[in-house]
């Protein structure tokens, strides 16, 4: 696969813009407070779009569509619990972090349980992020390999070094604003792609739904050796049911929005508790 000159121009221009933003914000980071929490000056809509960008990764764009194409919308059930999880986090956990003007999610652990628990929490988060980022970079490398022909190792190094560059020199200001740009690009790009697909199908949007309904792709069913089987909604520890998937999603969202440093640092960067809660609302609607 070779890139059209217009695609290559857009790609290089985008990368240059993001790198330039990192350099620009590096000049503004004159204090530790500015570097880690942006002077606690961000409005809710900016933080909210940043949270959406943080939640979207190569896993979202490559793995989820592939799974939905292969199976059904069954995994979408876990997303239904997101509003409830974020609501609980907004009123039960967010005040803890805003009250003490923390920078890290683990400062509270030290205040409550001591430094050893803080270190444990920080180390486990780092290991979890190493696994997550490894998966994300690997999936990105698959895409870059197809586009450029570079080796997988080269693609991983290019992606990792580029992201690390603007993150390390630009601090949270660069991270948040690049997240906002990435969110807008991803959403508009997705809508544009959908429009192109609909335009190229003989039956348009109606064809998408008719084929999907006929093949059971919009159902809440699990894949078996004999085809799709509708799931039940009872409580069960041995079978995949809608209720259990909802509870799994709720646990995941509560973990994400009450203990993940990626999220907590954005809470801390908001102007106020009200703005932080507004950001959570924007995030829920956006996702």
Residue of 138 and 62 predicted with greater confidence:
138
The domain spans of the chain are 5-286
In the CATH hierarchy, which fold is given to the domain comprising 5-286?
Sodium/glucose cotransporter (1.20.1730)
The segment with the largest mean pLDDT, out of 26-40, 51-65, 224-238, is 26-40
CA distance 100 to 248: 30
Report the share of the chain in percent with pLDDT over 70. 99
Average pLDDT rounded to a whole number, residues 51-79: 86
Place of tokens 């939640």: 55
Single out the residue of 134, 128, 165, 3 nearest to residue 58, CA to CA.
Answer: 134
Cβ atoms of 108 and 258 closer than 8 Å: no
User: pLDDT tens across 187-222, in order?
Assistant: 898 899 999 999 999 999 999 999 999 988 888 888
Tokens of 7: 């695609």
Which pLDDT belongs to residue 29?
Answer: 87
CA angle 96, 101, 102 (to 5 degrees): 80
User: pLDDT tens across 132-155, in order?
Assistant: 999 999 998 988 888 888 899 999
Average pLDDT rounded to a whole number, residues 54-69: 84
Which pLDDT belongs to residue 57?
Answer: 82
Q: In this model, does residue 1 exceed pLDDT 80? A: no
CA distance 28 to 243: 48
- Given pLDDT bands bounded at 50, 70 and 90, which one contains residue 3? confident
Average pLDDT rounded to a whole number, residues 78-89: 93
CA angle 249, 63, 146 (to 5 degrees): 160
Which pLDDT belongs to residue 97?
Answer: 86
User: pLDDT tens across 264-276, in order?
Assistant: 999 999 999 999 9
């Amino acid at each position: 696969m070779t890139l059209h000159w217009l695609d290559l121009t857009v790609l290089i221009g985008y990368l240059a813009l993001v790198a330039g933003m990192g350099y620009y914000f590096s000049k503004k980071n004159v204090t530790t407070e500015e570097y880690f929490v942006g002077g606690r000056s961000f409005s809710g809509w900016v933080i909210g779009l940043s949270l959406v960008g943080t939640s979207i990764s190569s896993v979202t764009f490559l793995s989820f569509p592939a799974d939905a194409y292969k199976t059904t919308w069954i995994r979408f059930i876990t997303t239904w619990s997101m509003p409830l999880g974020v609501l609980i986090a907004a009123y039960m956990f967010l005040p803890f972090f805003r009250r003490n003007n923390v920078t890290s999610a683990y400062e509270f652990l030290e205040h409550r349980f001591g430094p050893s628990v803080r270190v444990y929490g920080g180390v486990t988060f780092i290991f979890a992020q190493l696994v997550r980022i490894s998966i994300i970079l690997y999936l990105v490398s698959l895409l870059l390999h197809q586009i450029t022909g570079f080796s997988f190792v080269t693609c991983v190094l290019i992606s990792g070094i580029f992201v690390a560059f603007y993150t390390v020199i630009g601090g949270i200001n660069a991270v948040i604003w690049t997240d906002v740009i990435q969110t807008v690009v991803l959403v508009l790009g997705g809508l544009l792609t959908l429009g192109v697909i609909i335009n190229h199908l003989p039956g348009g949007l109606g064809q998408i739904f008719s084929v999907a309904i006929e093949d059971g792709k919009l159902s809440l069913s699990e894949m078996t050796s004999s085809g799709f089987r509708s799931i039940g909604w009872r409580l069960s520890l041995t079978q995949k049911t809608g209720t259990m998937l909802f509870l799994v999603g709720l646990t995941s969202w509560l973990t994400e929005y009450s203990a993940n440093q990626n999220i907590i640092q954005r809470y801390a960067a908001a102007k106020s508790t009200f703005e932080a809660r507004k950001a959570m609302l924007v995030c829920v609607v956006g996702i």
